[in-house]
Chain A
Amino acid sequence: MSSSSGQSSGYDLSFKILLIGDSAVGKSSLLVSFISNSAEDIAPTIGVDFKIKMLTVGGKRLKLTIWDTAGQERFRTLTSSYYRGAQGIILVYDVTRRDTFTNLSLVWSKEVELYSTNQNCVKMLVGNKVDRDSERVVSKEEGLALAEELGCLFFECSAKTRENVERCFEELALKIMEVPSLLEEGSTAVKRNILKQQQQPQASEFGGCCS
């Protein structure tokens, strides 16, 4: 029963993705928009949160564990431990607030360099809130230039209108799959999970025997 259900709802690869950036740039909204097509206001994240999404790209079934982090400075120590082992990192800024763009170079790229344990992780720069074009203060050209400087992919999107949201995550997943070491990590994680599932029934049996 469990084995058959496991096979039917299985996936080929499992990747860990991390969302970072200043507070209120829309990281949580971006994630919720991707997961559930919702566009409502999200209360500020406290510490970390995560969501899991199944995705099919490039003919592969993927399980994405996407970690959302609080951008406030006081939470930085807590969130820094979630960089470990991430195959993809999304650095988000708000195109209507220049300081959030500046802090990508001053703060967040340094955090990635300091805490990421995956040398080959794929990074993506995302400019959010493009639906507020009248308030835009960071041009697309500036975003592209910084992405090139930091070695990142680049997208502009809107969590509110869902413009480019799915493309962001799909493109990130595709790029992760192109890196051999990350592809292997994603495959290893799946095998490890299968082993854990197999061990659980045995544990329950043991419990039953004990009682």
Chain B
Amino acid sequence: MEEQTFVSKARTAFHSAAAKAERVLLDFKSDREDHDKQSSPNTFTGQQPEAESPHTNENDSKLRSELKHIKWRPPHLGIKQDWQDRIKNIRRGRKEVEDTDKVGDASMAVPFYDDNLYLLNMKNDLEAKASEAIPSVESLTAATKDPIPPSSVLKQLAIAVEAGSKAKSMKDLIASSGVSSPARERAGLSFSAVKALVLREKEDKLTSEFTSNEKVVQLINSLFDPEGDFLRRKINSNLEETAMTSLPRDIHGAPPESLVVKLAEILGNYKTLRKMALFWCRVVAELRKLWSEEQYLPGVPQNEIPDLKSCLLYQHFQVINCCISRKRFRIIATESLDSMMMQANSDIKESTDCCAGAPASPVLYARLNSGELVLRLGADHPAGDMTLLETGEPVYSPITQEGPLLTEDLIRETEEFVLRTGSVGAGCSQLLSDMQAFKAANPGCILEDFVRWYSPPDWTDNEASTEDSDVFDSGEPLSTRGQLSQRMQKEGNLWRELWETSKPVPAVKQAPLFDEDLALEGILNAFEDIHPSDLFGQLFVSLLGLGFAIAEPMLSSNSDFSKLFYDCKEYIIVACQNNKLNEKVDDLVQVYETVEKMLLDPEEALKMIRQTEESTMVTGEPRSPFRTLSLIFGGKDKLLRKSVSKDQTNDEEKSGRQSFSSFFDSKSSLFGKKPPKSGFPSPSAKSSIDTGWTVV
């Protein structure tokens, strides 16, 4: 009687939990509809014609003409030539009065210096113009000829990390049309400032045209091309694989050649934070499209659980691909099950007509003690040579549901949830799901059969049963064949209660343990709401890791550079493992530039090393270890001081994950911890202990 009461309570709890879950899903769907409404204006905006192309072409032509001008500049310029050029500039209507005055002053004193100054100004102008160029597939492909990504790309990401920490969201970066880019401010050219003022009026127009810009579309297509070799560099494979992959994981980056690294390189080539933010939004839109079409992301494994040692962005990409794999598998499994049931129905008709008793091979049956044949649903493969205790039929392992795909943020959230509520819901949900799948695949089974399959140590075969295996006696009592473990036989065991609650339902027909659609919606929403410093920080670290991974085989065998390289490597590992990335990006860029110089300009790098050695001798202390030590101590102090900001960050993450929290809440009522029985003194002591410490 008590058992029945519990069963009815369990059913009520289960139904209420199901109702809550359904409510959550309904809320989720209504949110989705709202989102679709909001997105429709963007779609309309995206269809507007492109007006930026002529402007781009104009810029390119200007750039080329000025390049020619530099090449054709005659040598040994005299004073007369200076004045003639000055007059020509005035006629062209240039507004570089300040530069002209400087040139004039210089020419009065030193004619040679005047020549150099003029070239320097021209070079600066060209750089300013070049910085306005929009990255394209062609320009980025050309850049891959360099052994490692240019340090200018990493520097732009560093600027974005620093600026992003002051912004609240990516939308703030997009909306900041009135503020010039820190990159331009850093350049400090009056020409750029004037150009920025002129461009300000056009920026609003450019924003709406960014998405449909031809170069942007090409970049997106190349980035997500599964068969393309866009942004692929030669990575020396002589090194052991562990050495190659260890650095990106040590610094919590992303694997070389992965989607994250390529994305980092593209974003680092944009020169304004606004366009970086716009391109990211374009990427998120593409991710939504790929998910709706169930297309894999390239450069990410297709069916691996999240790698917690990689950055969170990469973990999310892994979840996206894994969810696509699961969806595809479920479709196949469902079709297979449905076709088997249809065939079973047709077999029944045939047997009724012809009185034939032989079923087709793909359809599996189990015979009950009553002689009745029951269809096996969701059976995967025979479980060794096990047979059901009561019916003697073979035991089949069922197809089971896979567990949740947890990224590091969800793991933290789940753990805090379990700590706060004491819920054992996740384990019970999985156990119940497995029991239902087992029942569907093994008609006539009992709990003992499930335990023998699921938890072998909890079953003990009787030796007598083994000896008498030749003599089959269906009337033999169960206890003589074996028994459950002492702990499994214990009264109130939740395993037995779940077993009696479970119904025979194959895995593909069950409510999902892990809802892929819900999970992906959470991830894509997190992408849209991601904090700029979080995004650019992860991209910065990933690109940094790529550069070092490529450089290591080239420099490790070089006797001149190997020591300096490994000092740099050690530095970045320590810096990246520290949580205060924002304060280290400038130093990390300098370290990266050092490695870049060792590869591209070995002679100058050698000079630097010699100068460093000389200064080391003067100070009497080795430089690198000192730098590392100061970093460690500095990092610790800052870490202790700014624990508040860390907690705030955690709060922000939690708020972004409310849908998951409510989803978990819906299950806690069903699988909350059972209250200890009053008859036992130790359980009550245990509960008091728990209660006391929970208050703390």
Is B321 among interface residues, defined by CB-CB distance under 8 A?
A: no
Cα–Cα distance between A103 and B457 once the two chains are bound (Å): 14
CB atoms of A77 and B402 under 8 A apart: yes
Query: Beta-carbon contacts of B30-73 to A below 8 Å, as 1s and 0s?
Result: 00000000000000000000000000000000000000000000
Is B693 among interface residues, defined by CB-CB distance under 8 A?
A: yes
Cα–Cα distance between A80 and B424 once the two chains are bound (Å): 15
CB atoms of B427 and A47 under 8 A apart: yes
Partner of B636, one of A48, A65, A115, A184: A184
CB atoms of B308 and A43 under 8 A apart: no
Is A36 among interface residues, defined by CB-CB distance under 8 A?
A: yes
Cα–Cα distance between A6 and B695 once the two chains are bound (Å): 9
The residue on A at minimum CB distance from B643 is A191
Is A209 among interface residues, defined by CB-CB distance under 8 A?
A: no
CB atoms of B487 and A41 under 8 A apart: yes
Is A51 among interface residues, defined by CB-CB distance under 8 A?
A: yes
CB atoms of B430 and A74 under 8 A apart: yes
Is A174 among interface residues, defined by CB-CB distance under 8 A?
A: no
Cα–Cα distance between A47 and B457 once the two chains are bound (Å): 17
Q: B434 to chain A: which residues have CB within 8 Å?
A: 74
CB atoms of A75 and B693 under 8 A apart: no
Cα–Cα distance between A191 and B643 once the two chains are bound (Å): 8
Chain B interface size, under 10 / 10 to 19 / 20 to 34 / 35 or more = 35 or more
Question: Closest Cβ of chain B: how far from A1's Cβ, in Å?
Answer: 12
Is B177 among interface residues, defined by CB-CB distance under 8 A?
A: no
Known A24-B485, A43-B488, A48-B418: A54·B427 in contact at CB below 8 Å: no
A65-91 interface with B by 8 A CB criterion? 65, 70, 72, 74-75, 77-78, 80-82, 84
Known A37-B682, A43-B494: A84·B427 in contact at CB below 8 Å: no
Q: B682 to chain A: which residues have CB within 8 Å?
A: 36-38, 40
Partner of A9, one of B426, B640, B696: B696
CB atoms of A47 and B424 under 8 A apart: yes
CB atoms of B495 and A41 under 8 A apart: no
Cα–Cα distance between A146 and B287 once the two chains are bound (Å): 48
Question: Closest Cβ of chain B: how far from A92's Cβ, in Å?
Answer: 13
Is B685 among interface residues, defined by CB-CB distance under 8 A?
A: yes
Question: Closest Cβ of chain B: how far from A82's Cβ, in Å?
Answer: 7
Is A156 among interface residues, defined by CB-CB distance under 8 A?
A: no
Q: A80 to chain B: which residues have CB within 8 Å?
A: 305
The residue on B at minimum CB distance from A116 is B308
Q: A45 to chain B: which residues have CB within 8 Å?
A: 427
Q: A117 to chain B: which residues have CB within 8 Å?
A: 308-309, 408
Is B237 among interface residues, defined by CB-CB distance under 8 A?
A: no
CB atoms of A115 and B308 under 8 A apart: yes
**Tally of chain A residues near chain B (CB < 8 A):** 50
Is B412 among interface residues, defined by CB-CB distance under 8 A?
A: yes
Query: Beta-carbon contacts of B336-365 to A below 8 Å, as 1s and 0s?
Result: 000000000000000000000000000000
Question: Closest Cβ of chain A: how far from B431's Cβ, in Å?
Answer: 5
Main secondary structure of the interface of A (DSSP, over half): mixed
Q: A43 to chain B: which residues have CB within 8 Å?
A: 487-488, 490, 492-495
CB atoms of B695 and A9 under 8 A apart: yes
A121-139 interface with B by 8 A CB criterion? none
Partner of A48, one of B400, B427, B494, B689: B427
Q: A72 to chain B: which residues have CB within 8 Å?
A: 454-455
A1-60 interface with B by 8 A CB criterion? 5-6, 9-11, 22-24, 32, 35-38, 40-54
B476-502 interface with A by 8 A CB criterion? 485-488, 490, 492-495
The residue on A at minimum CB distance from B651 is A199
CB atoms of A192 and B647 under 8 A apart: yes
CB atoms of B690 and A51 under 8 A apart: yes
CB atoms of A44 and B487 under 8 A apart: yes
Question: Closest Cβ of chain A: how far from B254's Cβ, in Å?
Answer: 16
Is B644 among interface residues, defined by CB-CB distance under 8 A?
A: yes
CB atoms of A81 and B458 under 8 A apart: no
Most B CB atoms within 10 A — which of A53, A81, A82? A81
Cα–Cα distance between A80 and B485 once the two chains are bound (Å): 26
Is B406 among interface residues, defined by CB-CB distance under 8 A?
A: yes
Is B194 among interface residues, defined by CB-CB distance under 8 A?
A: no
Partner of B431, one of A46, A188, A199: A46
Question: Closest Cβ of chain A: how far from B644's Cβ, in Å?
Answer: 7
Is A195 among interface residues, defined by CB-CB distance under 8 A?
A: yes
Q: B431 to chain A: which residues have CB within 8 Å?
A: 46-47
Question: Closest Cβ of chain B: how far from A7's Cβ, in Å?
Answer: 11
Is B3 among interface residues, defined by CB-CB distance under 8 A?
A: no
Known A9-B696, A43-B490, A52-B690: A195·B643 in contact at CB below 8 Å: yes
B622-646 interface with A by 8 A CB criterion? 636, 639-640, 643-644, 646
Partner of B646, one of A53, A78, A192: A192
CB atoms of A23 and B427 under 8 A apart: no
Query: Beta-carbon contacts of B654-696 to A below 8 Å, as 1s and 0s?
Result: 0000000000000000000000000000100110011001111
Cα–Cα distance between A48 and B486 once the two chains are bound (Å): 21
Cα–Cα distance between A192 and B431 once the two chains are bound (Å): 34
B407-431 interface with A by 8 A CB criterion? 408, 411-412, 414-415, 418-419, 424, 426-428, 430-431
CB atoms of B686 and A44 under 8 A apart: no
Q: B226 to chain A: which residues have CB within 8 Å?
A: none
Most A CB atoms within 10 A — which of B431, B488, B490, B492? B431
Is B104 among interface residues, defined by CB-CB distance under 8 A?
A: no
CB atoms of A84 and B411 under 8 A apart: yes
CB atoms of A50 and B403 under 8 A apart: no
Partner of A54, one of B415, B693, B695: B693
CB atoms of B693 and A52 under 8 A apart: yes
The residue on B at minimum CB distance from A97 is B457
Known A24-B485, A74-B454, A84-B412: A47·B686 in contact at CB below 8 Å: no
Cα–Cα distance between A36 and B676 once the two chains are bound (Å): 14
B523-545 interface with A by 8 A CB criterion? none
CB atoms of A195 and B647 under 8 A apart: yes
CB atoms of B644 and A195 under 8 A apart: yes
CB atoms of B428 and A47 under 8 A apart: yes
CB atoms of A63 and B644 under 8 A apart: no
Question: Closest Cβ of chain A: how far from B336's Cβ, in Å?
Answer: 22
Identify 10 new A-B residue pairs, CB closer than 8 A, beyond the known A44-B458, A51-B686. A5-B695, A22-B457, A23-B455, A46-B495, A47-B424, A47-B428, A48-B426, A65-B419, A74-B430, A74-B434
Q: Could you show 6 A-B contacts with beta carbons less than 8 Å apart?
A: A23-B458, A24-B457, A36-B682, A47-B430, A78-B403, A81-B406
Q: Which 4 A-B pairs have the closest CB atoms?
A: A47-B427, A24-B457, A77-B403, A46-B427
